[in-house]
């Protein structure tokens, strides 16, 4: 069986989970392997999540425990490794989120399995798995291979088409886990919530860089354009470091990777670390007053000019 560890947020199954289910289906096609998909839901008060995901898989395993209220790499890896072993999984799929990428290596070590990180394609043939992934800050596409009875794979978000739920629901089972005591104690959190569509789920992302001038400039130009287009907002590291925007909006090597249909970069120079988080976007639009800015090299459309004049003009035009 293929084990998919369900990712969810704010009471809903995340898009990344539906993408993992497609990756699981893709991998099993013509492989001669057991292609049944088991979803594993870890957390506390997750009945709604389990019911939602049951519509797209063959079986749902639920560990609904107070001990799983807070994500922890040691807890999650112990749970996933135990279920993978008991269920004799051949493939364990984990989301390519920050947490997924953090605990998946522990699962691989526990299972003595290869780890294929952040894959964008996945094919199985007998015991051999072949996958592609981006390397060199997303400038290179590499093909990797592993032959093993069980493998751990993280799925790059935003690449596979999300699976569509069916009418009937798969059976759900509660599971018993023997869990370690977490050693990383979380004492406080700063959760940054936005009323806009999520950055990694949005069809259009409008991002701003230092060229917007100030935190106020970001609101005046980037947020205004995003709201006009129903888009999510993103930011460069430079302005996150400057305190203009929260870290949760950062796009790039140390922030989020996005792959929207349209990415609009406003006052962003286009450093490789930023590009690595958005260079797979379908259409890229750039506005920058420097014609030599590297962002224009990967832009489909752009204007060389001043943000303070161009964005108000674009907003006027959009309202026509």
Partner 1 sequence: MRILTYIRQVLDAEESVHIANHAVALENSKLVMDTMDEYGVEEALRLRESGIEAEIVAVAVGPARVQDALRTALAMGADRAIHVETDIRLDAIAVSKVLSQLATQEQATLIFSGGQQADWDSHALAAATAERLQWPQVTWTSALELKGTTLTGKHDADEGSEFFTLELPAVVTTQQGLNEPRYPTLPNIMKSKKKEMRKESLDQFGVTPKLKFVTAEVQVKDRLNKILDGKDAPAAAAQLVDLLRNEARVIA
Nearer to ligand FAD, 123 or 289 (CB): 289
Instruction: Note whether 203 and 261 are within 8 A (CB).
Output: yes
DSSP state of 298: G
- Among ligand FAD, partner 1, none, the one that 210 touches (CB under a kind-dependent 5 to 8 A) is ligand FAD
CB 146 within 8 A of CB 114: yes
Minimum distance, C-beta of residue 177 to partner 1, in the bound complex (Å): 17
Q: How far is the CB of 41 from partner 1 (least distance, A)?
A: 16
CB of 263 to ligand FAD, least distance (A): 13
> Residue 218 interacts with partner 1 (CB under 8 A)?
no
Report phi then psi at 71, rounded to 5: -55, 140
Footprint (CB under 6 A) of ligand FAD, residues 236-295: 236-239, 250-255, 267-269, 271, 273-274, 277, 288-290, 293
Among 168, 171, 191, 195, binds partner 1 (CB under 8 A): 191
| Size of the chain in residues | 320
- The piece of 21-29, 137-145, 162-170, 232-240 that touches ligand FAD (CB under 6 A) is 232-240
Residue 41: its H or E element: strand 37-43
Is residue 90 a contact partner of residue 1, using CB atoms and an 8 Å limit? yes
CB 90 within 8 A of CB 33: yes
Least separation in angstroms between residue 152's CB and ligand FAD is 25
Residue least distant from ligand FAD (Cβ): 252
C-alpha–C-alpha distance, residues 282 and 59, integer Å: 35
Phi, psi (rounded to 5 degrees) for 279 = -70, -5
Contact status: 113 vs partner 1 (CB under 8 A): yes
Alpha-carbon torsion (143, 148, 149, 152), positive or negative: negative
Q: Which residues bind ligand FAD (CB under 6 A)?
A: 209-211, 236-239, 250-255, 267-269, 271, 273-274, 277, 288-290, 293, 306-308
């Amino acid at each position: 069986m293929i084990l998919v560890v369900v990712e969810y947020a704010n009471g809903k199954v995340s898009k990344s989970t539906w993408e993992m289910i497609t990756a699981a289906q893709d991998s099993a096609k013509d492989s001669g392997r057991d292609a049944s998909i088991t979803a594993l839901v870890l957390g506390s008060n997750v009945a709604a999540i389990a019911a939602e995901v049951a519509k797209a898989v063959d079986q749902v395993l639920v560990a609904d425990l107070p001990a799983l209220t807070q994500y922890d790499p040691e807890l999650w890896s112990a749970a996933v490794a135990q279920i993978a072993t008991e269920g004799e999984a051949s493939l364990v799929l984990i989301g390519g989120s920050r947490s997924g990428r953090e605990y998946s290596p522990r699962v691989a070590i526990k299972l003595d399995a290869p780890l294929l990180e952040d894959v964008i394609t996945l094919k199985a043939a007998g015991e051999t798995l072949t996958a592609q992934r981006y390397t060199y800050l997303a400038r290179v596409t590499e093909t990797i291979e592993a032959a093993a009875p069980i493998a751990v794979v993280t799925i790059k978000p935003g690449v596979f088409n999300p699976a569509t739920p069916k009418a009937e629901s798969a059976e759900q089972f509660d599971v018993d886990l023997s869990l370690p005591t977490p050693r990383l104690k979380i004492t406080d959190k700063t959760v940054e919530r936005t009323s806009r569509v999520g950055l990694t789920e949005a069809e259009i992302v409008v991002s701003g860089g230092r060229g917007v001038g100030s935190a106020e400039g970001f609101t005046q130009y980037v947020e205004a354009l995003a709201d006009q287009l129903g888009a999510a907002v993103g930011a460069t590291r430079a302005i996150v470091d400057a305190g203009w925007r929260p870290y949760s909006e950062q796009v790039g090597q140390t922030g989020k990777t996005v792959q929207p249909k349209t990415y609009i970069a406003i006052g962003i120079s286009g450093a490789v670390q930023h590009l690595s988080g958005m260079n797979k976007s379908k259409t890229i639009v750039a506005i920058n007053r420097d014609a030599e800015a590297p962002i224009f090299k990967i832009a489909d459309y752009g204007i060389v000019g001043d943000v303070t004049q161009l964005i108000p003009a674009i907003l006027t035009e959009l309202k026509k």
